[in-house]
Structure formats: C-alpha cells, structure tokens
C-alpha cells in the first residue's frame, strides 16, 4: 500500500507542495486507506485546500516573529531606565510617608524622636528609655530599594527634627541620594 501512495507524494512535491504538506497528505491517505481498503484519488487542488487548513506556513510564522520583534524594538527603549526611576519613587514614598508616619507616631507617644543612636530600630523594638512606647510603629526594619538601611539622624543637620535619607544607587553620599529635605 505504501508503494502505491509514494508516487502521489512525489507528484504533490513536484506540484509545489511543501514536504510537510505532502507528508500530511500521505499520512491522511494511509489512514483512510486502512478504513476503506481502497485508494482515493483526489486532485492536487483538493490536497492543497485540505493541507492549508491544517497549519501555518513558514512565511506566516516568520511574519509573526517579525511583527513581535518590531513591537519589542519599539517598546523596550521606553521601558529601560524605568527601573531606577521606580526605585527612587519607592525610596521617596518610604521616606516621606511610611517611615515618616512611624516616626511621627513614636514622637506622639514618647514626646521626642528617637536619637541617632537608637535609630530607626526604636520604631519596632522598645528601648529602655521609652516609657509610653505603643509600638511597633513599623512592621520590619526599613530597607531601601538598593538593599541598604535608611540613614537617620536626630536632631538633623538639614531639618530641626530629623534627617532621613537613602544613599541611592551608588551607596555613598552624592547627588543621587533620596532625602527628606529640599
């Protein structure tokens, strides 16, 4: 039976069918022959119509890959650099809202801000000098987006109450620091 179908596969290849289309048609014919024990003669046009409905051509797949590549090329430049902006925004939110709220609540309960020596640890661990401590004022030790501790000084050098800042990406005091003054 395979010998009878082989010339039809070769004919399909000569007519411009791809090897995958010819193989798919061969496999379909082989299974249908087992069902009715006879050969079905179909025109090349019918084979092409059936084969074109079963999958994508190489050209179609390449076109999809090219379109996806073009979209990535347009979107990627806009997304690069946003990671650092997001880290700065998170640090600014921590300094101006999250940690600041904890410090203000501590100050309302104790009457003064934690000293530089006590640091931000006083917001989640009671110190011996804090009599009216009702904390913890923060759930965990505050860590900036660059995985370093926030810096805290009280009384502050730039503000009367306290200075709170992150050393930023480079980890040293410089222009990229995120701070609660200015």
Q: Is the pTM of this model over 0.85?
A: no
pLDDT in tens, 113-142: 888 888 888 888 887 777 888 878 888 888
Sequence-distant (≥ 6) Cβ neighbours of residue 145 within 8 angstroms:
86, 87, 88, 90, 91, 166
Domain boundary among 79, 104, 139: 79
Domain boundary among 79, 103, 137: 79
Shortest CA distance to 118 belongs to which of 76, 162, 81, 159? 162
State residue 171's pLDDT score. Answer: 83
Domain boundary among 26, 52, 79: 79
3-state secondary structure the chain: CHHHHHHHHHHHHHCCCCHHHHHHHHHHHHHHHHHHCCCCCCCHHHHHHHHHCCCCCHHHHHHHHHHHHHHHHHHHHHHCCHHHHHHHHHHHHHHHHHHHHHHHHHHHHHCCCCCCCCHHHHHCCCCCCCCCCCCCCCCCCCECCCCCECEEECCCCCCCCCEEEECCCCCCCCCCCEECCC
Higher-pLDDT residue of 8 and 164 is 164
Q: Identify whether residues 111 and 169 lie together within a single domain.
A: yes
Number of domains in the chain: 2
State residue 87's pLDDT score. Answer: 86
Q: Identify whether residues 75 and 87 lie together within a single domain.
A: no
User: Mean pLDDT, to the nearest integer, of 62-70?
Assistant: 87
State residue 164's pLDDT score. Answer: 92
Instruction: Kindly indicate the confidence band of residue 177, based on its pLDDT and cuts at 50, 70 and 90.
Output: confident
Tell me the residue range of the domain where 32 lies.
Answer: 2-79
pLDDT in tens, 81-110: 677 888 888 888 888 888 888 889 888 888
CATH of the domain at 155: 3.30.700.10
Mean of pLDDT over the chain: 77
């Amino acid at each position: 039976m395979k010998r009878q179908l082989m010339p039809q596969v070769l004919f399909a290849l000569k007519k411009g069918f791809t090897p995958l289309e010819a193989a798919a048609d061969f496999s379909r014919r082989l299974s249908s022959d087992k069902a009715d024990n006879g050969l079905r003669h179909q025109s090349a046009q019918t084979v092409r119509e059936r084969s074109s409905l079963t999958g994508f051509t190489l050209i179609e797949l390449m076109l999809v890959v090219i379109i996806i590549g073009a979209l990535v090329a347009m979107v990627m430049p806009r997304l690069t650099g946003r990671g650092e902006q997001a880290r700065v925004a998170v640090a600014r939110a921590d300094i101006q809202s999250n940690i600041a709220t904890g410090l203000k609540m501590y100050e309302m309960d104790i009457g003064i801000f934690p000293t530089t020596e006590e640091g931000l640890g006083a917001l989640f661990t009671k110190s011996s000098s804090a009599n009216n401590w009702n904390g913890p004022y923060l759930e965990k030790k505050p860590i900036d987006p660059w995985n370093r501790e926030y810096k805290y000084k009280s009384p502050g050098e730039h503000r009367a109450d306290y200075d709170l800042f992150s050393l930023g990406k480079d980890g040293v005091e410089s222009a990229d620091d995120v701070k609660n003054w200015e």
